């Protein structure tokens, strides 16, 4: 048994999402995906100054964090935001930055 507290689920999820956002390439990908309904791998690659292998890797991380989803449309791969988890992330951050008194009390 540990003597000190571990982290809450909220803290773990927030850290997980923040980590996924912790690279400019991934931010650029999300900015891009948020600006349209969907697009293909090549479109994303064209937006970024890195190799396709690296883009693919960043996309995988975003997918693992639940922020985006990909779907094969042979011969292309279609990507889009996972809008549901995107809103969840938004709310997790909003809560984090909210005044502490609002988290516990009667703050709308």
Binding-site ranges for DNA (CB under 7 A): 19, 22-23, 25, 40-42, 45, 50-61, 70, 74-77
Token pair 């990908």: residue: 29
Site for its own copies in 12-71 (CB under 8 A): 12, 14-15, 18-19, 21-28, 30-31, 34-35, 46-49
Identify the CA nearest to 92 among candidates 22, 5, 4, 8.
8
Q: Which long-range contacts (CB under 8 A, 24 or more apart) does 13-19 make?
A: 13/92, 14/92, 14/93, 14/96, 16/65, 17/65, 17/67, 17/89, 17/92, 17/93, 19/65
Q: Which is nearer to DNA, 49 or 105 (CB)?
A: 49
Does 102 participate in binding its own copies (rule CB under 8 A)?
A: no
Residue 61 binding partner per list DNA, its own copies, none, with a CB distance cut-off of 5 to 8 Å that depends on partner kind? DNA
With CB under 8 A as the contact rule, the residue among 1, 53, 100, 108 that binds its own copies is 100
């Amino acid at each position: 048994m540990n003597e000190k507290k571990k982290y809450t689920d909220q803290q773990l999820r927030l850290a997980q999402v923040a980590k996924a956002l912790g690279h400019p390439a991934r931010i650029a990908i999300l900015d891009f995906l948020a600006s349209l309904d969907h697009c293909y791998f090549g479109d994303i690659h064209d937006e970024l100054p890195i190799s396709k292998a690296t883009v693919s890797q960043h996309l995988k991380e975003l997918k693992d964090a639940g922020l985006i989803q990909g779907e094969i449309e042979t011969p292309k791969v279609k990507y889009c935001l996972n809008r549901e988890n995107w809103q969840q992330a938004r709310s997790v951050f909003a809560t984090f930055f909210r005044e502490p008194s609002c988290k516990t009390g009667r703050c709308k």
